[in-house]
Structure 1
Amino acid sequence: MTPTVPELLLGNFLCLIDPPPNESVGDYLQAKIGVTGMISMLCAQEAERGVEARAWENRAIRELLQANADRYGQAFAQAAEGEDRDLSLAAMDRANAGLRRALIELHVAVEAARDAALDDEIRALYVKMADARRLDLPPMPAS
């Protein structure tokens, strides 16, 4: 399961409203606030960049599926149908999940056919997809 931004932020809220026991106020509270702060910072990045990354990714997967449907089956063209009209993260994630499943199925077929060129293209897309979703951690303070 990949938690969503709203789920993570709700978790942060629930974490912070529960007071720690008196014996663990010092280091425990400092660590708790540090972790919830980091989660909030990562959520802010996801909220800022997430829709753009998914829109690009969905387009790229659709194009790859459509371009190879004649060789590997029209089911891939059908999986690539549609467009992203609802630009909420939740809707984009739902569309992306279906497209990723179809991409994995295409990749399996490509590997079985020993289609090295398309295999390389798909693996290059995976790298670009991971890079587009990268979140940046803050530098750690010196101890």
Structure 2
Amino acid sequence: MTPALPDILRGNFMCLAIPGPPEQQGEFMTGRVGVIALLSLLAAQEVERGTTARVWENAAIATVLADAADAYGVQYAELASIGPTDLSLEALDRANAALRRGLIALHEAVETAGDLARHRAIVGLYGEMAEKRRLDLPPLPAR
């Protein structure tokens, strides 16, 4: 399971709002706050780039599915028409999940058919998708 952004932020809140027992102070609490800070930094990046990445990704997957419809079946054209009713992360993620399932099914069909050009295009898309969703970790502090 990949936690959604609101789940991560709620978890950060709960970790800070509910004090731990005395034995969890000191180094344990320092580590806990460090993890919360890191999750908050990653959440901020997701807020900044997440919608743009999802909109791009959904359109790119839909294009691949639509292009494959003639060769691999009309169901891919139907999947390509899936789109969110709004631009909330939740709606974009629902559409993305359906599109990804279609892309995986298409990729399996492409591999079975030995369609090397389309296989390479799909693998290239996977790489672009990963790059668009990349989150950057902060540099390690000097010791």
Q: TM-score, normalised by structure 1?
A: 0.97
Deviation per CA, 1:32-68: give whole Å up to 9, x if none. 1010011011011101100000000000000110011
Percent of aligned pairs with the same amino acid = 52
Q: Which residue of 1 aligns with 2:45?
A: 45
- 123-132 vs 20-29, which deviates more? 20-29
Displacement of 1:23 after TM fit? 2.7
- 50-59 vs 83-92, which deviates more? 83-92
Is the contact between residue 55 and residue 84 of structure 1 (CA under 8 Å) also seen in structure 2? no
Q: Which residue of 2 aligns with 1:141?
A: 141
2:31 counterpart of 1:27: no
| 1:1-143 alignment runs, 5 A limit | 1-143=1-143
Name stretches of at least 5 consecutive residues in structure 1 with no aligned partner.
none
Matches of 2:62 and 2:124, distance apart in 1? 15
Is the contact between residue 84 and residue 94 of structure 2 (CA under 8 Å) also seen in structure 1? no
Is the contact between residue 65 and residue 80 of structure 1 (CA under 8 Å) also seen in structure 2? yes
| Paired residue type of 1:38 | L
Other structure's SS at 1:68 match: helix
Matches of 2:38 and 2:131, distance apart in 1? 20
- 2-11 vs 17-26, which deviates more? 17-26
Q: TM-score, normalised by structure 2?
A: 0.97
Displacement of 1:19 after TM fit? 1.4
Matches of 2:48 and 2:9, distance apart in 1? 15
Deviation per CA, 1:55-92: give whole Å up to 9, x if none. 00000000110011000000000011143441110110
Displacement of 1:5 after TM fit? 0.6
| RMSD over equivalenced CA pairs, Å | 0.9
Displacement of 1:99 after TM fit? 0.1
Name stretches of at least 5 consecutive residues in structure 2 with no aligned partner.
none
